[in-house]
A and B are shown apart, each in its own frame.
Chain A
């Protein structure tokens, strides 16, 4: 077969941050096939040095506006580990509800605003306003719920105010009394249950569109949190699932033995690898690892959508996100019930008992996120390290590209079809590039 392909997507649209896709094929031979990242570096790890522990999470929250709740929580957990703090049961539960709000919120945004246009054959959500007005309104309604849900716990969803080292600075809803705060939680529970009809409509839409999801499989390693209490999102150990089904558990304090960041000449971003050439993090990885821990209501939808672990089609990440969003709604309702049964208390944040070094993880919408800090005896930060989900996915995207381009050449797809497939693949990963803190330089051949 003799074929020439020249794909050069500069600043891919409908992803967070800046990425390029470059594929050059001459006479059927792949000369270049790259996922490139030219994002402006922002140096957060340098910026936290010399800052007090109480300020660090509010600084690193600003790494990403979409997963700022997750950055806040991973940061707080790392600081709490470093400062010898054990938070209360109530704090744990409130943070879980907040964490679930973020995953729901981000997944709704991604599935409806960034992915649905591909599946409906539109360049963005805006042309869908006249043709699919009810879908757009539902999307905005569901997104708004995510915001109100997170804001009830965190104060706001973009850079939350209330979660602080040791607990929460104020009660849910900003209430001045526990009674008032409980009323806010009750109101939130009603709102959560009211979203179910919209979730069912979304499920039907996904079932209709499932046929448009490209068929592509590449077995890889999946990495995500494994939590004894539930589907791993807020807490747990690092679970590393291989295609043969074997699951290795690693303590969060040893996260560097999993992430193994390394430099490659073909990319601006640092890559990560563990047991195989690359690994995947995010909703699909989590669902593969935690399928058995799904809330029964979410499990029903997963079955209905034909999801079976271990699923090795990265395009299914969006389906996994939706299943997870539903899980988050039901789990939040359960946690609210638990808190209301026990009764809220007005607790002060727990103070540090020692000063040292510690790491924390949270599984944020785009995958497992690590923060690590060291503090001096005055509580001032001496060192920070943040390893972002998207950075961990870059190598996996590249490996998918390599396999897919060969398959697409064999299928004799046109250049336009190939370009769209590659764009959809990257979008499927829901990359959060401005988030990615570790970049290196490469000169691009035009």
Chain B
């Protein structure tokens, strides 16, 4: 079987999900028996303008100027995989979406220069059709691998859970943060990560987005009543990674 021609592209992001690709270790060489990287600006000088089998896109769509570049990638690629929170939901970049003074805060008198024109941070799917999504900040590299396997073998769609992170905490026997007098977004956060954050002693901040049919109002009430957060903090908590999924987005 011919190797799949793969290309990686990045938009507004920290490029941390690309770094995750280098963390597979030696087995990465085996992956290269199935994939042929044809463009990957961060690690390759080679470039291509021809058709590609799989385009991996990282980062948010934040500028209208980037729409054409995204459309060109889509036109050349058989399969588009958006990976990481920035690409799949707008991620941390969307934390400024509800603000109107962010440019002035960072750039002062220079804020109106055209280069700094950054609109709302949106997922890649707001500009082009996306075939697969790998959520998470950072993305789960094993999940990406499962999707690659599926594209290589042409099998059925990869199953990714849409239930809340709480399910995964129970499964790994992590004591609920609310039982310890702490707060957490686990009840409305989408699982699939294996719930590493509560196990490591920090709250889930829903970096994979929201679970199916999240009750956001009830979550705020739980954050206030059980998590002892002030009302405003409770209301703003889920902006961190899920600003575009909120009821007020």
Whether the pair B43, A125 counts as a contact (CB closer than 8 A) is yes
Q: Choose the segment among A57-65, A209-217, A244-252 that binds chain B (4+ C-beta atoms closer than 8 Å).
A: A57-65
- Contact mask A30-48 → B, CB, 8 Å, 1/0? 0000000010111111110
Whether the pair B15, A65 counts as a contact (CB closer than 8 A) is yes
B145 in the interface (beta carbon within 8 A): no
A266 in the interface (beta carbon within 8 A): no
Query: Given A144-B26, A158-B20, A161-B197, A40–B106 Cβ distance below 8 Å?
Result: no
A156 in the interface (beta carbon within 8 A): yes
B153 in the interface (beta carbon within 8 A): no
**In the bound complex, CA of A169 to CA of B25 (Å):** 27
B105 in the interface (beta carbon within 8 A): yes
Whether the pair A50, B236 counts as a contact (CB closer than 8 A) is yes
Q: Which A residue sits closest to B65, measured CB to CB?
A: A40
B115 in the interface (beta carbon within 8 A): yes
Q: How far is the CB of B235 from chain A (nearest CB, A)?
A: 11
A109 in the interface (beta carbon within 8 A): yes
Q: How far is the CB of B36 from chain A (nearest CB, A)?
A: 8
Whether the pair B137, A141 counts as a contact (CB closer than 8 A) is no
A residues within 8 A CB of B10?
434
Whether the pair A40, B137 counts as a contact (CB closer than 8 A) is no
Cross-chain contact of A174 among B25, B26, B110, B200 (Cβ < 8 A) = B200
A residues within 8 A CB of B197?
161
Q: Which A residue sits closest to B102, measured CB to CB?
A: A46
B146 in the interface (beta carbon within 8 A): no
Query: Given A17-B15, A140-B28, A147-B23, A46–B201 Cβ distance below 8 Å?
Result: no
B13 in the interface (beta carbon within 8 A): yes
Q: Which A residue sits closest to B13, measured CB to CB?
A: A434
B residues within 8 A CB of A27?
none
B205 in the interface (beta carbon within 8 A): yes
B34 in the interface (beta carbon within 8 A): no
**In the bound complex, CA of A276 to CA of B23 (Å):** 40
B residues within 8 A CB of A52?
233
A residues within 8 A CB of B47?
13
Q: How far is the CB of A400 from chain B (nearest CB, A)?
A: 21
A residues within 8 A CB of B103?
41, 43, 46
**In the bound complex, CA of A168 to CA of B202 (Å):** 10
Q: Choose the segment among B71-79, B88-96, B124-132, B214-222 that binds chain A (4+ C-beta atoms closer than 8 Å).
A: B88-96
A98 in the interface (beta carbon within 8 A): no
Whether the pair B14, A68 counts as a contact (CB closer than 8 A) is yes
A residues within 8 A CB of B106?
41, 43-46, 437-438
B residues within 8 A CB of A123?
44-46
Whether the pair A124, B45 counts as a contact (CB closer than 8 A) is yes
Whether the pair B202, A164 counts as a contact (CB closer than 8 A) is yes
Cross-chain contact of B96 among A47, A117, A136, A161 (Cβ < 8 A) = A47
B residues within 8 A CB of A45?
105-106
Whether the pair A65, B200 counts as a contact (CB closer than 8 A) is no
Q: How far is the CB of A127 from chain B (nearest CB, A)?
A: 8
**In the bound complex, CA of A59 to CA of B236 (Å):** 14
**In the bound complex, CA of A219 to CA of B154 (Å):** 57
User: Most chain-A CB neighbours within 10 Å: which of B91, B106, B118, B138?
Assistant: B106
**In the bound complex, CA of A441 to CA of B24 (Å):** 38
A residues within 8 A CB of B244?
none
> Which residues of chain B from 16 to 45 have any CB-CB distance to chain A below 8 Å in the complex?
16-20, 22-26, 28-29, 32, 37, 40-45
Q: Which A residue sits closest to B86, measured CB to CB?
A: A62
Whether the pair B14, A161 counts as a contact (CB closer than 8 A) is no
A residues within 8 A CB of B29?
129, 133, 136-137, 140
**In the bound complex, CA of A41 to CA of B236 (Å):** 23
User: Most chain-A CB neighbours within 10 Å: which of B19, B25, B99, B101?
Assistant: B19
Whether the pair B12, A40 counts as a contact (CB closer than 8 A) is yes
> Which residues of chain A from 300 to 317 have any CB-CB distance to chain B below 8 Å in the complex?
none
A425 in the interface (beta carbon within 8 A): no
> Which residues of chain A from 230 to 262 have any CB-CB distance to chain B below 8 Å in the complex?
none
Whether the pair A441, B15 counts as a contact (CB closer than 8 A) is no
B residues within 8 A CB of A170?
199-201
User: Most chain-A CB neighbours within 10 Å: which of B32, B44, B196?
Assistant: B44
A99 in the interface (beta carbon within 8 A): no
Whether the pair B240, A59 counts as a contact (CB closer than 8 A) is yes
Whether the pair A113, B16 counts as a contact (CB closer than 8 A) is no
Whether the pair A144, B23 counts as a contact (CB closer than 8 A) is yes
**In the bound complex, CA of A13 to CA of B37 (Å):** 14
- Contact mask A157-192 → B, CB, 8 Å, 1/0? 111011010001110001000000000000000000
Nearest 8 CB-CB pairs, A to B? A65-B16, A169-B201, A441-B115, A144-B25, A441-B113, A46-B102, A124-B44, A123-B45
Further 8 A-B residue pairs, CB within 8 A, beyond A40-B11, A434-B13: A47-B92, A55-B240, A62-B92, A65-B19, A109-B19, A140-B22, A158-B19, A164-B201
